[in-house]
């Protein structure tokens, strides 16, 4: 689902073909940012071997340039390449990026500020070893439709995501998030799937969760949630395929499959 959505978004935003052009100032910024990313990345299998100035950067492995903004990098797609190290803040200088997929690698450290990536529509960093909190600056990526940070070591409280009003898919499962599920999540009215399972979240499910009328799937299982299922979810059950996990009078988890 994630890869298919990212691919469709890539095509719909005009980044489906490589466009080589003269190197302008903005293009030089993109090249420099990519080379900084490479310099900080451990690459035991040589996945970034083509990242050399003798090859046009639009032809580098995993790099897709835009056909709408000639020569600007629109996508960085390098899943499952055994890459590791910390991601440099220079990644945030690729201001025309629409898709980042670095899933199933060994990247670690904290997520750098990406607040300049206002064109970003898909961010998939799942199955790495990132730690720390989700930076507040991520909410500046106001066009984000897909956010997948599953299976990392993120912790702390969930960052309010109410500014991500275009968000369709949210996957934060299998981390170490604590605290409550913020009410602000219900402001992301376009959400279709939410996966917060396998964390350490506590407290009640927000009472307004049933107002997410586009919601098709949700998994809150394997947390420390308490209380009762909000009555507002009575309407949601018509749309959702539900498997509820209840124990005694307290909610210990609720999963939707």
pLDDT range class, residue 160, cuts 50, 70, 90? confident
Q: Where are the beta strands (DSSP E) in the chain?
A: 41-42, 63-65, 73-77, 84-86, 99-101, 106-110, 122-124, 129-132, 146-148, 153-157, 169-171, 176-179, 193-195, 200-203, 217-219, 224-225, 242-247, 250-256
Q: What is the pLDDT of residue 80?
A: 98
In the chain the domains, ranked by start, together with CATH numbers, are 83-243 (3.80.10.10)
Which residues are bridge partners to 195 per DSSP?
A: 171, 219
Q: What is the pLDDT of residue 242?
A: 40
The tally of CA atoms less than 13 A away on the side-chain side of residue 144 is 25
Q: What is the pLDDT of residue 86?
A: 96
pLDDT in tens, 24-47: 445 889 999 999 999 999 999 999
Percent of the chain with pLDDT over 70: 81
């Amino acid at each position: 689902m994630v890869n298919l959505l990212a691919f469709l978004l890539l095509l719909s935003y005009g980044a489906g073909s490589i466009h080589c052009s003269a190197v302008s100032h903005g293009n030089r910024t993109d090249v420099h940012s990519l080379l900084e990313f490479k310099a900080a990345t451990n690459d035991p299998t040589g996945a970034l071997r083509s990242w050399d100035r003798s090859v046009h950067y639009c032809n580098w492995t995993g790099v897709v340039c835009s056909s709408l903004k000639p020569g600007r990098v629109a996508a960085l797609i390098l899943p499952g390449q055994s890459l590791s190290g910390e991601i440099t803040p220079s990644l945030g200088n690729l201001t025309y990026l629409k898709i980042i997929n670095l899933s199933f690698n060994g990247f670690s450290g904290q997520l750098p500020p990406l607040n300049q990536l206002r064109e970003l529509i898909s961010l998939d960093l799942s199955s790495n070893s990132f730690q720390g909190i989700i930076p507040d600056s991520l909410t500046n990526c106001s066009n984000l439709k897909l956010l997948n940070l599953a299976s990392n070591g993120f912790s702390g409280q969930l960052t309010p995501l109410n500014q991500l009003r275009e968000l369709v898919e949210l996957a934060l499962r299998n981390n170490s998030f604590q605290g409550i599920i913020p009410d602000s999540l219900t402001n992301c009215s376009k959400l279709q799937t939410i996966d917060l399972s396998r964390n350490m979240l506590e407290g009640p499910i927000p009472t307004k969760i049933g107002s997410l009328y586009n919601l098709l799937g949700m998994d809150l299982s394997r947390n420390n949630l308490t209380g009762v299922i909000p009555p507002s979810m009575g309407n949601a059950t018509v749309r959702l395929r539900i498997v509820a996990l209840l124990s005694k009078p307290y909610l210990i988890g609720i999963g939707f499959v």
